[in-house]
């Protein structure tokens, strides 16, 4: 009798195990993206709105307009119709080199931050803002908010914005001194178009990989994870030398104290000839359709030799890849992994 009860218990256990193992949810496949996602669009940014809509914004190779695309998925952005939301002015500021637009939503208002030159001097690059109260940033009217004024009032571009502990911060690239094309600076924002308080340099080009042809730190992109604030940036000339670096600060640190920021001495993402990935950089971050997988959006060329100059070659293509994480909580950019 005892043996029969043991056998019955075993059979019931095996039956239950079989049922519950069969009910276990199947592991979801990782997101997959078609690369390059969008041809001839540099300095890309993809924003996922609260309703799941994706908005794409980037530098057009003609440098004369700002356009957007929207879709319900990232892959669908490739076929979405580009919508021109603003065109350059005829004279004065905002007439040349319409570069690196970024789309941000602050207090239920959309803002585009971008760089542009002046008709009197196309290399007088400064930063400007547009605003739009529409729920959908591809609709409604974009209002010119004017220049984002910095205390140095020097060559400046590539602004990004992030919120932290009830404050908004503005990070951008500006000429910080003799022999330096650009370093990264951070400041608090009084409002979405006005800076206030100290403007602190948090990284300048110091290593060889940051000083190829030009001494450049530009294109900041902010990602808050694992009790840290990470900022990637791009360095050197925009040919095959272009590469990405990483700085970070503890989330509880004083972000306006330069000593709060740490910097890796080596690049985290750079040219990989075997993968035909040349001059990767000027990235941003977004979230996959599953609402949890971190993605990196960036541009790169698929050949070494430029076709013309770095600004006349239009073939910096938008790419998207999964951003993985190391065991110690740092982003792993997958230098040896294809997209």
Predicted confidence (pLDDT) per residue in 181-195, tens digit: 999 999 999 999 999
CB 216 within 8 A of CB 175: no
Which tops the pLDDT comparison, 59 or 3? 59
Q: Tell me the domain boundaries of the chain.
A: 30-332
Residue 8 has pLDDT above 60, yes or no: no
Report DSSP letters for 107-140, one per residue: TTEEEEEEEEEETTEEEEEEEEEEEE-SSSTTSS
- What distance in Å separates the CA atoms of residue 304 and residue 224, rounded to the nearest whole number? 33
Q: How many Cα atoms occupy the beta-carbon half-sphere of 36 within 13 Å?
A: 20
- CA of residue 19 relative to chain centroid, distance: 45
Q: Write the secondary structure of 26-74 as one string of H (helix), E (strand) and C (coil).
A: CCCCCCCCCCCCECCCEEEEEEECCCCCEEEEEECCCCCEEEEEEECCC
Residue 18 has pLDDT above 60, yes or no: no
At 28 the pLDDT is 72
Catalytic residues: 43, 218
Predicted confidence (pLDDT) per residue in 75-123, tens digit: 999 999 999 999 999 999 999 999 999 999 999 999 999 999 999 999 9
Mean pLDDT over 267-280 rounds to 98
At 24 the pLDDT is 54
Q: 30-332 maps to which CATH number?
A: 2.115.10.20
Residue 17 has pLDDT above 70, yes or no: no
At 59 the pLDDT is 98
Mean pLDDT over 195-218 rounds to 98
At 130 the pLDDT is 98
Residue 20 has pLDDT above 60, yes or no: no
At 14 the pLDDT is 47
Helices (H) and strands (E) in the chain, counts: 1, 21
Residues 6+ apart with CB under 8 A from 284: 44, 45, 46, 102, 160, 221, 296, 297, 298
The mean pLDDT of the chain is 94
Predicted confidence (pLDDT) per residue in 247-258, tens digit: 999 999 999 999
Residue 57 has pLDDT above 60, yes or no: yes
At 5 the pLDDT is 52
Q: Specify the length of the chain in residues.
A: 339
At 42 the pLDDT is 98
At 27 the pLDDT is 65
Mean pLDDT over 252-278 rounds to 98
Mean pLDDT over 18-23 rounds to 49
Residue 7 has pLDDT above 80, yes or no: no
Residue 47 has pLDDT above 90, yes or no: yes
Residue 271 has pLDDT above 70, yes or no: yes
Give the pLDDT band of residue 30 (cuts 50, 70, 90): confident
At 233 the pLDDT is 99
- What distance in Å separates the CA atoms of residue 147 and residue 243, rounded to the nearest whole number? 29
Residue 19 has pLDDT above 50, yes or no: no
At 22 the pLDDT is 52
Residue 329 has pLDDT above 50, yes or no: yes
Coil, helix or strand at residue 192: coil
Question: Six-digit token pair at 201?
Answer: 């340099």
- What distance in Å separates the CA atoms of residue 204 and residue 96, rounded to the nearest whole number? 26
pTM above 0.75, yes or no: yes
Which long-range CB contacts under 8 A does 146-149 form with residues at least 24 apart? 146/193, 147/93, 148/113, 148/172, 148/193, 148/194, 148/195, 149/194, 149/195
């Amino acid at each position: 009798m005892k043996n029969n009860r043991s056998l019955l218990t075993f059979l019931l256990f095996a039956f239950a195990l079989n049922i519950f193992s069969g009910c276990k949810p199947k592991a979801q496949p990782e997101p997959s993206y078609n690369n390059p996602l969008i041809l001839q669009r540099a300095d890309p940014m993809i924003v996922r709105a609260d309703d799941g809509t994706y908005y794409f914004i980037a530098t057009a190779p003609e440098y004369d307009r700002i356009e957007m695309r929207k879709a319900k998925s990232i892959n669908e952005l490739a076929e979405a119709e580009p919508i021109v939301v603003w065109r350059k002015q005829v004279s004065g500021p905002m007439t040349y080199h319409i570069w690196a637009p970024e789309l941000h939503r602050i207090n239920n208002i959309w803002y585009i931050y971008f760089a542009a030159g002046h008709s009197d001097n196309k290399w007088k690059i400064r930063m400007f803002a547009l605003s739009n109260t529409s729920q959908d940033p591809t609709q409604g009217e974009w209002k010119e908010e004017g220049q984002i004024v910095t205390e140095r009032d020097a060559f400046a571009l590539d602004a990004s914005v992030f919120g932290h502990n009830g404050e908004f911060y503005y990070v951008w690239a500006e000429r910080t001194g003799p022999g330096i094309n650009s370093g990264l600076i951070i400041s608090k924002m009084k409002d979405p178009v006005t800076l206030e308080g100290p403007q602190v340099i948090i990284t300048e080009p110091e290593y060889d990989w940051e000083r190829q042809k030009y001494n450049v730190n530009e294109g900041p992109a902010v990602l808050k994870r694992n009790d840290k604030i990470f900022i990637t940036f791009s360095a050197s000339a925009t040919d095959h030398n272009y590469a990405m670096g990483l700085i970070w600060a503890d989330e509880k640190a004083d972000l306006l104290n330069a000593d709060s920021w740490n910097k890796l001495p080596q690049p985290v993402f750079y040219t990989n000839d075997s993968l035909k990935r040349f001059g990767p950089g000027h990235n941003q971050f977004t979230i996959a359709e599953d609402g949890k997988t971190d993605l990196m959006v960036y541009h790169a060329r698929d050949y070494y030799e430029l076709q013309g100059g770095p600004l006349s070659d239009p073939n910096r293509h938008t790419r998207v890849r999964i951003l993985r994480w190391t065991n110690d909580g740092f982003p792993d950019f997958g230098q040896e992994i294809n997209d």
